[in-house]
Amino acid sequence: MSQGKRMKQVKEPKRKMTREEIEAKKKKIKRRFFIFVALIVLVIAGFIASDYIILDQNEKTNLVINNSNITSNMKHDVLIEDDIIYVSKEDMQNFFDRYIYLDEANNQIITTYDKKIATIGFEGNMLTINGSNKKIYANAKKEGETIYLPISEMKDVYGIEIENIKDSKVVTIDSTDREQRKAMVSKDAAVKGSTGFIAKTIDRVTKGAYVIVVSKTDDGWTKIRTPNGKVGFVKNDVIVNEVKIRDNMVEEPQIEGKVNMFWDFYSQYAKAPTRTEKIEGVNVVSPSFFYITSKAQFKDNVGEAGKAYIEWAHNNGYKVWAMVSNSYESDMMEITSKIMNNYKYRQALIENIVDVCVKYKLDGINIDFENMKKEDKDMFSRFIIELTPRMKEIGLVTSVDVTAPDGGDTWSLCFDRNVIGHVADYIVFMAYDQNGTGSKTAGTTAGYDWTVANLKKFIKTDEVKSEKIILGIPFYTRLWTENSDGKLTSCIVNMKDINKVIPNNAKKQWLDDVKQNYVEYQEKGATKKMWIEDLDSIKAKVSLVNEYELGGVSAWAKDREDTSVWSVIANELK
């Protein structure tokens, strides 16, 4: 490369700006800055001026439920035809009835809500609510694969008020059991979508108009629903003359505090026991009044003895939650399956239960169905789903007995504890027969550790609210016999008879894991074993009620106990 070419690559030195040029550049930067700020101010002013512009125009019908616009969460659009408002079955499931059900056998939709069970078909313009028919102006219908329900015709089912505001394309739904407040608008005002400094105007309200008051913020805003159905914010001084027009409806629980219950079992061929004593701490009794027979008939086994029993219970301040059993006759698994899988049979059983509850002035029902098919689990849940509203309608409690979560198909896996625990007032965990007739090894009937492990499954795995769980405890145990030939047998021994059965010289040993006294002794060449249910073991189990904040306790069964146990249970529940 030549010297001349190398010289061309040398850059000229940068000229230093004069003071006048520097000042001119500063003024230019300042002008640009002020122009930028002015533009920002103009933008903000535009937002402020938007008080006079409605920016939020609905392109499709919006649905506002209890002052929340849920349109963006819906799976399908609201349909309005001939002034009938339709909402899809999937959206009804999300916002009203988790258990809404297509009964294909009868070509109808079954829906439950609070104290109502209703059916609606795809023709016939008929709505059935709690067994009574009501003429309506529309049916359920299908649009492609989507089922729609005429919610405007089902106000009595869901306890709602519904309004179609055509001008703003908004449908509002309000539950009539929820508090509602109204107020007057003191001056014309813009309704904002939020309380931020820059907020979109979604509606306007005029002086003298009435609005629904939703809530108030800590920074001087009131959330309202406008006459157009829009939900937004105005300053507090816009709202005057606020009044409550409807209170929250809150039902008082039937039992104050913990349930302290016992089952009073007697055979379907016997009479109710005669009771005269007052039992310390008890507030609920469950006599075995009702059965399903092998002919699928509902049997009432109350009689005069049962009427006297109910009178004794009520005179002592006890609630009567009568037991309904699928009995212990042969073929009951098939009979139960037949009833559970047919809506008409389920409803016939429910009507029988409602009738006897009213007839005998009962306070509740205890459903004790056992030995059912695993594949009928969902249909048994449907039975409870459909029964519970009818019980609520007449102010009664529904409790359902279930076994431990892990076990055989017909003993354990036939229950959906999550659904039952969600729907029924109480789910009763029968925490016994950890080791029963079919056990291949001797063991406790109801160990503390086993009970705790299963309670955790109810609460954590099955997501049952702890306050809905009643812990069932046994007033019996088993005496196990291990013969020299390896044969194992057992027999039930009631708590009150334990000390009559085991020898006086048998040494008791406390086992802290099961929290029971254990005895083992020899008799006629065989080894006898017993995990004892006594006051100490019962106290340990009942302590779980407060530890896990359970709904209470129930004992199986009356007349098997050591009478001293009642004061132990009562004291532990306190």
The predicted-structure confidence for 475-512, as pLDDT tens digits, reads as follows 999 999 999 999 999 999 999 999 999 999 999 999 99
3-state secondary structure of 148: strand
Going by C-alpha positions, the residue among 76, 120, 116 that lies closest to residue 94 is: 76
Q: What is the pLDDT of residues 222-270, one digit of tens each?
A: 999 999 999 999 999 999 999 999 999 988 999 999 999 999 999 999 9
Separation in Å, CA 265 to CA 271, 338, 349, 425: 10, 26, 21, 22
- Residue 536: enclosing H or E segment and its boundaries? helix 535-547
Taking residues 82-106, what's their average pLDDT? 98
Given a contact cutoff of 8 angstroms between Cβ atoms, the answer to whether 225 and 212 are in contact is yes
Phi/psi of residue 49, nearest 5 degrees: -65, -20
> Confidence class of residue 38 from pLDDT cuts 50, 70 and 90?
low
Least confident of 29-33, 243-247, 394-398, 552-556: 29-33
Domains with residue ranges and CATH for the chain: 62-165 (3.30.457.10), 179-246 (2.30.30.40), 259-474+534-573 (3.20.20.80)
3-state secondary structure of 343: helix
**CB-based contacts of 502-507 (< 8 A; 24+ apart in sequence):** 502/528, 502/530, 502/532
Q: What is the pLDDT of residues 271-308, one digit of tens each?
A: 999 999 999 999 999 999 999 998 899 999 999 999 99
Strands (E), 345-461: 364-368, 397-402, 426-430
> Confidence class of residue 4 from pLDDT cuts 50, 70 and 90?
very low
pLDDT at residue 198 tops 90: no
pLDDT at residue 513 tops 90: yes
Rounded CA separation 132/137 (Å): 17
Given a contact cutoff of 8 angstroms between Cβ atoms, the answer to whether 570 and 281 are in contact is yes
Phi/psi of residue 336, nearest 5 degrees: -60, -40
* Residue-wise burial string across 13-51, b where 16 or more C-beta atoms lie within 10 A, e elsewhere: eeeeeeeeeeeeeeeeeeeeeeeeeeeeeeeeeeeeebe
pLDDT at residue 524 tops 80: yes
pLDDT at residue 8 tops 70: no
Rounded CA separation 360/351 (Å): 14
pLDDT of the residue at 2: 42
pLDDT of the residue at 55: 46
Omega of the bond prior to 557 within 30 degrees of 0, cis?
Answer: yes
Strands (E), 418-525: 426-430, 469-474, 476-482, 488-494, 509-511, 516-523
Q: What percent of the chain has pLDDT over 90?
A: 86
pLDDT of the residue at 56: 55
3-state secondary structure of 396: coil
Tokens standing for residue 170: 């908004």
pLDDT at residue 52 tops 60: no
Mean pLDDT (the chain, rounded): 93
Q: What is the pLDDT of residues 342-396, one digit of tens each?
A: 999 999 999 999 999 999 999 999 999 999 999 999 999 999 999 999 999 999 9
Going by C-alpha positions, the residue among 295, 413, 392, 395 that lies closest to residue 345 is: 295
